[in-house]
Amino acid sequence: MRRDSLFYQLFAQLPQTLFDLLGTDTPQGYRFDSVELKQTAFRIDGVFVPPDPAGTVYFCEVQFQRDNTFYERFFAEIFLYLRLYRSTFADWQAVVIYPNRQTEQESFDPYDLLVHSPRLRRVYLNELGSPESLPLSLGLMQLMVLPEAEMPRVARLLAERTQGEAAPKSAVIIELITTIVLYKFTELSREEVLRMLGFTTEELKRTRFYREVYAEARAEGLDEGRQQGLQQGLQQGLQQGLQQGLQQGLQQGLQQGLQQGLQQGEVLVILRLLRRRFGSVPSELEERIQRLSISQIEALAEALLDFRELGDVAAWLEHSC
């Protein structure tokens, strides 16, 4: 994932970010968009469209690599947009976001007048201030450009602020923080990142990530378990049917098979989640889990997030079974 796509995801989820950068109150009704212009290779990735023609349209670009023709392209795209959509706005403003001043192109010829005019606002993320004092949206921007060594501390700080300040769209902000950290620490799982941000087990269980992973694993596991149970039930029912009568045997066999299928489905959920967290599961441990009752499996699912290593699973089985 390219870093600028993270910025545009932030703008799409939290459009007030642009107005936090400009230091103005957030107007209502703005829509963030990416606009394809009717010209070869002309596209403006960040356009904040006003809700009515009396408003101001904002053009926003994230520039993390030096491009000595950037302003030539940027202003060409802007003026083409102004020509095509002039009836949809009353005024315009441009914003360019740089990680630092060294990234900006060296010469502004022949666009000096525009670059230094009130029409263009240039933002350097390393000059915004400390994340403790910034709005959360700008703290997220800074998080994207921090060195790896500083990122965990600032990510935890932003996560704590999100929860402590009861921020609007707090779930969206936490998801963005997690995505940004995953972008930097590619070797970590999403669950490990959430733990790094300081989530307790109960808070982790309430995150969208946990609900989605558990629901996905449960659906897949139960589906697989039901299929196995139906096959076993039919086979068992046919065998019993030869001895006890076909109809009665099939009914009993199907009931037993479905019960076994549900139990196997729950086991598959547990094993799938354990493999996601710890990698491979030893065959001996897998066999012990497969022998659990449905109630024991449900208890194990509740305790799962408290485990730090596979040894904790074995200890739980010794204590609970």
Mention every residue, 6+ apart, whose C-beta is less than 8 A from residue 93: 22, 56, 57, 58, 59, 119, 121
| DSSP conformation class of 207 | S
For range 223-228, the mean pLDDT: 56
Please, which pLDDT band fits residue 50 given cuts at 50, 70 and 90?
very high
Q: How far apart are CA 33 and CA 60, in angstroms?
A: 10
In this predicted structure, the answer to whether residue 232 has a pLDDT above a threshold of 80 is: no
Say yes or no: 11 and 119 in one domain: yes
> Which range marks the domain in which residue 181 is found?
130-199
Q: Is the peptide bond before 147 cis (omega within 30 degrees of 0)?
A: no
**% of the chain at pLDDT higher than 90:** 21
Please, which pLDDT band fits residue 293 given cuts at 50, 70 and 90?
confident
pLDDT higher at 246 or 232: 232
Contact, 8 vs 62, CB < 8 A?
yes
Please, which pLDDT band fits residue 14 given cuts at 50, 70 and 90?
confident
pLDDT reported for residue 261: 54
pLDDT reported for residue 271: 81
Contact, 173 vs 198, CB < 8 A?
no
Final residue in a domain of this structure, among 101, 127, 153: 127
Mention every residue, 6+ apart, whose C-beta is less than 8 A from residue 195: 204
Specify the number of domains making up the chain: 3
Say yes or no: 4 and 80 in one domain: yes
Say yes or no: 47 and 141 in one domain: no
pLDDT higher at 108 or 309: 108
Say yes or no: 298 and 311 in one domain: yes
Say yes or no: 243 and 255 in one domain: yes
Lowest mean pLDDT among 140-149, 240-249, 276-285: 240-249
Kindly report the average pLDDT of the chain as a whole number.
78
For 232, what's the count of Cα atoms within 13 Å in the CB-facing half-sphere? 16
In this predicted structure, the answer to whether residue 40 has a pLDDT above a threshold of 50 is: no
Contact, 159 vs 203, CB < 8 A?
no
Q: What is the CATH number of the domain that holds 110?
A: 3.40.1350
pLDDT reported for residue 1: 42
**% of the chain at pLDDT higher than 70:** 74
Structure tokens at 115: 């670059």
Say yes or no: 182 and 67 in one domain: no
| DSSP conformation class of 52 | S
Final residue in a domain of this structure, among 170, 199, 228: 199
Structure tokens at 67: 């491009």
Contact, 321 vs 292, CB < 8 A?
yes
Contact, 321 vs 296, CB < 8 A?
yes
In this predicted structure, the answer to whether residue 222 has a pLDDT above a threshold of 70 is: no
For range 167-181, the mean pLDDT: 81
Say yes or no: 226 and 135 in one domain: no
Look-up of token digits 């949206």? 137
Final residue in a domain of this structure, among 127, 145, 170: 127
Please, which pLDDT band fits residue 13 given cuts at 50, 70 and 90?
confident
Say yes or no: 123 and 21 in one domain: yes
Q: How far apart are CA 57 and CA 30, in angstroms?
A: 9
* Residues in the chain, overall count: 321
